[in-house]
A and B are shown apart, each in its own frame.
Chain A
């Protein structure tokens, strides 16, 4: 309710965004807004353009058309590092940890620009504990299990205390137990006020965490609504749920 009372409920606004890769229109005039405090799931079939949208938000790719507003400002021309410093944080689909560095050095690399050196030790410990890796600090990251690497990456993304956290398939390759763990983590982060956008294929996970779901298809918003509405929508079932 606080979000409605706030003068500017919208945190992220994508306005008629397009991204062309050679002959491929990965994103095709997409308009999407995310309010402060939301926990939004993005779903859609393979190649729908979900990851591309994250890359556009983060500045890893430049849109061919449209504007991106974050916290009221147009950020199209901001370099990625500035977006990171202004409160955007991402866990990418392809693992973005540093395999050759220790877990703790990974955390330090992620945290350095956001946490003063004096409290680095305590803060990295706290963040690692939060994702269940406090005892793995001295391990080389490549020795962690796939799930642990995903958690580490979420912990790294958290070190910036971001306003908005983008999670691209956080449960990929996880078993049911790990998925449940991740769902709890995502919910508790959201409960603390972090706005979260999650891309997921795992519908059980989506059902578990999301209030609002956006379905993408062919680079556009295909449907939007609560999880119940989406699951009741036959056209969505055709394009998305039908793919399994």
Chain B
């Protein structure tokens, strides 16, 4: 089996090549920059970028569900909101040490469970493609409308007043007796982002990840290879729901506040636009795009607030029309071709390539 050995070496080589991609390198550089950033920036900027980091997780959840599993969801914003509210409700009701950490888990799981429940009814009910987009958008808007009418005092869960559009005040995250803020909170967000990234890297390279890739391309065919496609769709919807909810937990605890606008139409569409501009097929691209576009959005907001959405809409349109892989992912792929020569390039097989000359012997 000499040939099989060659094969093994070849694929080991390819694994090394794949590991040494611009995408991975970009993520490592990004993290390295984030690690030193708080040491050179002022307190306000550190807090501000900590907020960006919290929002990147929403983009990560979209890259997973849309880019990786091929399910365009506008519900990530709903799970984001559920995470934020549930964390807040829990943290307002319990004040023993570590309660806020348990609250994070509660918020995350709440988002995941709602996602899995909705996913179960959608995918086992045969809802797919554009109808998933519509159904999830409906969920987001229904939740927003519901939360908007919770202004009265009767809308309270224990100590937690929901407060409608006035917003609910949300306790900050505490580790033991220490409230996390400033640099500590920044690094807390960064560690969670890196953790989620590593888990997803591992999952997407696993059997399950390959299955997802296949069902993104062709659901019916993938089922004939023995994949329980609907169950896998529910699983990935659960996971993406958890990640979106984590983003919501971090957002709400960072600002000490959450309101129904976090689940509005604009809030639902914005991350989709960010991820489309950056490149939905890549978690790295989604993260970096979100960081840059949030920064840009803030700059625009101070000079010409009404233009932010116009600019992003135009960028998204450009991306869809001319750079469907997204600007950042395309840039990284171009770098791959130039720097890591051939790392991603495939030889083209001439369509006329003759059939194997020898009859295939039964091995």
Contact = CB atoms under 8 A, between A and B. Distances in A.
Interface of A: 58, 60, 79-81, 84-85, 89-90, 92, 96, 98-102, 104-105, 108-110, 112-114, 117, 121-122, 125-126, 129-132, 134, 136-140, 143-148, 156, 160, 175, 177-178, 181, 184-185, 188, 191-192
Nearest to A144: B349
Given A84-B224, A112-B207, A125 B7 contact: yes
A64 B226 CA distance: 24
B353 A80 contact: no
Interface string B312-351: 0000000000000000000000000000000000111111
Interface stretch (B53-61, B173-181, B209-217, B285-293): B209-217
B228 interface: yes
Contact of A192 (B11, B220, B354, B362): B362
A140 B346 contact: yes
Contact of B11 (A92, A114, A121, A126): A121
B4 A102 contact: no
A178 B211 contact: no
Given A58-B224, A80-B224, A177-B355, A126 B363 contact: yes
B356 interface: yes
B220 A101 contact: no
A185 B207 CA distance: 29
A92 B222 CA distance: 12
B349 A79 contact: no
A104 B11 contact: yes
Contacts of B1: 122
Nearest to B349: A143
B218 A105 contact: no
Contact of B360 (A129, A144, A147): A129
Given A113-B226, A145-B353, 8 more contacts: A60-B220, A81-B229, A104-B11, A121-B4, A138-B14, A139-B347, A144-B349, A156-B225
Interface residues of B, number: 40
Contacts of A131: 360
B223 interface: yes
Q: Which of B228, B229, B348, B349 has the most C-beta atoms of chain A within 10 angstroms of its own C-beta?
A: B349
B3 A125 contact: yes
B218 A98 contact: yes
Contact of B228 (A81, A112, A185): A81
Contacts of B229: 81
B359 A96 contact: no
Nearest to A100: B217
B7 A134 contact: yes
A58 B225 CA distance: 11
A151 to B, nearest CB: 9
Contact of A84 (B11, B210, B214, B225): B225
A133 B225 CA distance: 20
Contacts of A184: 359-360
Given A98-B214, A109-B211, A181-B356, A160 B225 contact: yes
A121 B7 contact: yes
